[in-house]
Amino acid sequence: MTQPELSRRRSKYTPRVAPEGAKLATSAMIASLDSEGRETRAAPFGHALVDLAKDRPDIVGLTADLSKYTDLHVFAKAYPDRFYQMGMAEAVMISAAAGLAREGFTPFATTYAVFASRRAYDFIIMAIAEENLPVKIVCALPGLTTGYGPSHQATEDLAIMRGMPNLTIIDPCCATEIDQATRAIADHPGPVYMRLLRGQVPDVLGEYGYKFQLGKAQMVRDGKDVLFVSSGFMTMRVLDAAKALQADGVDCGVLHVPTIKPLDTATIVAEAAKGGRLVVTAENHSVTGGLGEAVAAALMRAGAYVPFRQIGLPDAFLDAGALPTLHDQYGISVAAVTASVKGWL
């Protein structure tokens, strides 16, 4: 397809606006992942991409009919001539992104994590990863961030993607980190799969002076009794659990691991080996094939034999329902994390 033909097919984005005085509903699809009262930022990925694009004419955005639900609508409004609406065709979107990358662009392709990992996997391998192209695949609804059941719950996406050569995998925690990680992956020369929290995203790590570094795990807080090794929004959960446990005399450290691949094994092993702490991995993903098993393997290979437990989602198709109920049910709420750690000590 020629450039003029592509230009004619570009979607003319028009944002939908609620009628004046209408009350906006919150569905299970976009419910908050955090407790009330914490500061949030709207669409950190979309706004970071717009800011980057001011000085980066190579940045383009593609989506599979999900611009609103991946925050790419912010970019589409700012740069309609650099936005491609590919429809409900993830394989086509991935193939188009690969073609754009071959022509010198840096494509950000967005969809839901289930659709990228399950439907477009072979296309990502053959068109992007094997050729080591700089396509950034940014995916909303990772793990248990929707109550809509197995069709939308990407509880196994990290396990699927970790086996793909050349692919960097990022699982950011909060608005601060999404903003920083978006800028970092734009400069990364190869393909990236990044999980995305969208909408009103809690701002957690900013208060700790955190700075995202691609490929690096970082201690957010230290503690002598328990070491949480966490990724994604589970880092905000274990930080809250650490405060609750502190009141009961349990001192918890939190090692945040936003880069799942390549894994920062040196930092993980060094921190886990300190002081005989209980090491607890915490992830918004199945206990099969994600961060927990990657950390366990790294510790075993290094000969770091420490007390070890996993907090994660079961190896099962999960129920549909309200997110707070599901998070309690599957053990990833603050209360559930706190109770689990007390039971292990």
What domains does the chain contain, in order, with CATH numbers?
A: 37-202 (3.40.50.970), 215-344 (3.40.50.920)
Whole-angstrom Cα distance, residue 110 to residue 160? Answer: 17
Contact 281, 292 (CB under 8 A): yes
pLDDT of 19 reads 46
Provide the β-strand partners of residue 308. 279
Closest CA to 45 of 225, 204, 184: 184
pLDDT of 35 reads 60
Contact 170, 185 (CB under 8 A): yes
Residues with Cβ < 8 Å from 131, sequence gap 6 or more? 98, 102
pLDDT of 275 reads 81
Contact 142, 232 (CB under 8 A): yes
Reduce the DSSP state of residue 59 to 3 states and report it.
Answer: strand
pLDDT of 7 reads 47
HSE of 168, CA atoms in CB hemisphere, 13 A = 26
Q: How many CB atoms lie within 10 A of CB 225?
A: 17
> CA separation (Å) from 338 to 164, 180, 289?
34, 29, 24
pLDDT of 37 reads 74
Helix H or strand E segment including 298: helix 291-302
What is the DSSP secondary structure assignment for residue 20, as one 8-state letter?
A: T
HSE of 296, CA atoms in CB hemisphere, 13 A = 15
Whole-angstrom Cα distance, residue 89 to residue 85? Answer: 10
Residue with tokens 């905000």: 236
Q: What is the pLDDT along the chain (345 residues), one digit of tens a residue?
A: 444 444 444 444 444 444 454 443 444 444 567 666 789 999 999 999 999 999 999 999 999 999 999 999 999 999 999 999 999 999 999 999 999 999 999 999 999 999 999 999 999 999 999 999 999 999 999 999 999 999 999 999 999 999 999 999 999 999 999 999 999 999 999 999 999 999 999 999 999 999 999 999 999 999 999 999 999 999 999 999 999 999 999 999 999 999 999 999 999 999 999 988 999 999 999 999 999 999 999 999 999 999 999 999 999 999 999 999 999 999 999 999 999 999 999
pLDDT of 32 reads 60
pTM: 0.91
